[in-house]
Chains A and B, each alone.
Chain A
Amino acid sequence: GENVEQHPSTLSVQEGDSAVIKCTYSDSASNYFPWYKQELGKRPQLIIDIRSNVGEKKDQRIAVTLNKTAKHFSLHITETQPEDSAVYFCAATPADRGSTLGRLYFGRGTQLTVWP
């Protein structure tokens, strides 16, 4: 099955700095890549996603880039704020493999802390 690696596991930045989280995946059939933010005690919430026909997507301070050849995708947060502090999970979803279709394969998560 799909294997998603996520780095770093923890990331501390000063308010206003940028944060970058990187993920790699193993299954070339994966073509949908969502990012979830999970604050302490809360549900995972989708913050941005990208499909394989697009190389980059941006939503205000958040952007995601995808390199299908290298099988990696990254989350970029600019002008970080204390409320960005949370665990971020990347995920990959295969397109056409029977029981794996539509499944989310998660990375292990990155604990982001933004210091004021």
Chain B
Amino acid sequence: DTEVTQTPKHLVMGMTNKKSLKCEQHMGHRAMYWYKQKAKKPPELMFVYSYEKLSINESVPSRFSPECPNSSLLNLHLHALQPEDSALYLCASSQDRRRQETQYFGPGTRLLVL
């Protein structure tokens, strides 16, 4: 399996809702990433997990809460989001962050906050 999968593909939520995004990879990668991408812009890094430990938090608001339950799974818990948080949320993985290996992206979750 050489793919990163993400669920759901689309998500619409109100500002008071709580939802979660899920990412999974079975390539044995030990680094996993969350990115936010607005239309016609490059992906913006949000969080990096390395060997299931949070190693980078790019000063992301606390309404976004990442979780890495095991080496294959990465979640992003959403709570009290704002309309400006509407974007494509991409998950990525790489073999090992320390060795600058290629990052492989999932298909993304398109989030709309009303």
**Which residues of A line the B interface, CB within 8 A?**
31-32, 34, 36, 42-46, 49, 87, 89, 93, 95, 99, 101-104, 106-109, 111
**Which residues of B line the A interface, CB within 8 A?**
31, 40-43, 45, 48, 50, 55-56, 90, 94, 96-108
User: Count the A-B residue pairs with Cβ separation under 8 angstroms: how many?
Assistant: 54
Tell me the minimal C-beta distance from A53 to chain B in angstroms: 12
A103 & B56 in contact (Cβ 8 Å cutoff)? yes
Q: Answer whether A49 and B105 are a contact pair too, CB < 8 Å, given A44-B43, A107-B42, A108-B41.
A: no
CA distance A31 to B99 in the complex (A): 11
Specify which of A32, A89, A106 lies most central, judged by the most chain B CB atoms within 10 Å of its CB.
A106
Known contacts A34-B103, A46-B103, A102-B100; 16 additional CB pairs below 8 A are: A43-B105, A44-B43, A46-B104, A87-B40, A95-B100, A102-B48, A102-B94, A102-B97, A103-B56, A104-B43, A104-B103, A106-B42, A107-B42, A109-B41, A109-B42, A111-B40
In the complex, what residues of B have CB within 8 A of residue A108's CB? Answer: 41-42
Tell me the minimal C-beta distance from A75 to chain B in angstroms: 15
In the complex, what residues of B have CB within 8 A of residue A31's CB? Answer: 100
CA distance A46 to B40 in the complex (A): 18
